[in-house]
């Protein structure tokens, strides 16, 4: 399955799409990027005069790249004619550095297990300097249904 096919299957659209590109993906994990536009609405009030990307948005970015994209790949939905939905079930994220408007981040996800429709991954987000800005674990349930 090609990265473009996976991105086309994501159940998000702007302004809630936090994946620009997938750099790599296989049965063990994936890597992708996103650049936070300074025009995103949440920067207007978080924090006044010193905007910082909220932790919940960083977590969502890691979930979209490291859980949903990987879940679509692992279920092989493009080839099978089905569609996957990945529902976030748990997170444990440590935030180390702030992410500012205009920053490009890279998310690296490593599959811990995928069984009984549950996907569990170790994830980390890095800034353009390769510094870890947040890391942790993320899990979700993958459901599939046949299209047609």
With CA atoms as reference, report the closest residue to 83 among 16, 2, 18, 144. Answer: 144
Each residue's pLDDT tens digit in the chain (148 positions)? Answer: 699 999 999 999 999 999 999 999 999 999 999 999 999 999 998 998 899 999 999 999 999 999 999 999 998 854 455 566 788 899 999 999 999 999 999 999 999 999 999 999 999 999 999 999 999 999 999 886 655 5
Token match 């991954």: residue?
121
d(CA 119, CA 142): 7
84, with CB counted inside 10 A (0-12, 13-18, 19+), is: buried
5: helix, strand or coil: helix
What is the residue-wise DSSP string for 75-127? HTHHHHTEEEEEEEEEEEEEE-S---TT-EEEEEEEEEEEETTEEEEEEEEE-
Of residues 46, 50, 85, 120, which has the active-site annotation? Answer: 46
50 tagged catalytic: no
3-state secondary structure 27-57: CCEEEEEEECCCCCHHHHCCCCCCCCCCHHH
CA–CA distance, 34 with 43 (Å, rounded to integer)? 16
d(CA 122, CA 96): 16
Place of tokens 């459901």: 143
Residue 75's pLDDT is what? 87
Q: Write down the residue that tokens 């919940």 correspond to.
A: 56
Ordered structural domains, the chain, with CATH: 3-146 (3.10.129.10)
């Amino acid at each position: 399955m090609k990265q473009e096919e996976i991105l086309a299957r994501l159940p998000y659209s702007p302004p809630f799409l936090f994946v620009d590109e997938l750099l790599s993906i296989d049965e063990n994990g994936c890597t992708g990027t996103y650049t936070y536009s300074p025009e995103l609405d949440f920067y207007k009030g978080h924090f006044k005069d010193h905007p910082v990307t909220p932790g919940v948005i960083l977590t969502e970015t890691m979930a979209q790249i490291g859980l949903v994209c990987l879940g679509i790949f692992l279920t092989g939905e493009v080839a099978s004619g089905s569609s996957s939905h990945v529902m976030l079930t748990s997170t444990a994220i440590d935030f180390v550095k702030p992410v500012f408007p205009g920053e490009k981040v890279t998310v690296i996800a490593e599959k811990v297990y995928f069984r009984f429709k549950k996907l569990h991954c170790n994830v980390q987000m890095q800034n353009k300097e390769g510094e870890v800005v947040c890391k942790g674990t993320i899990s979700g349930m993958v459901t599939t249904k046949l299209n047609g």
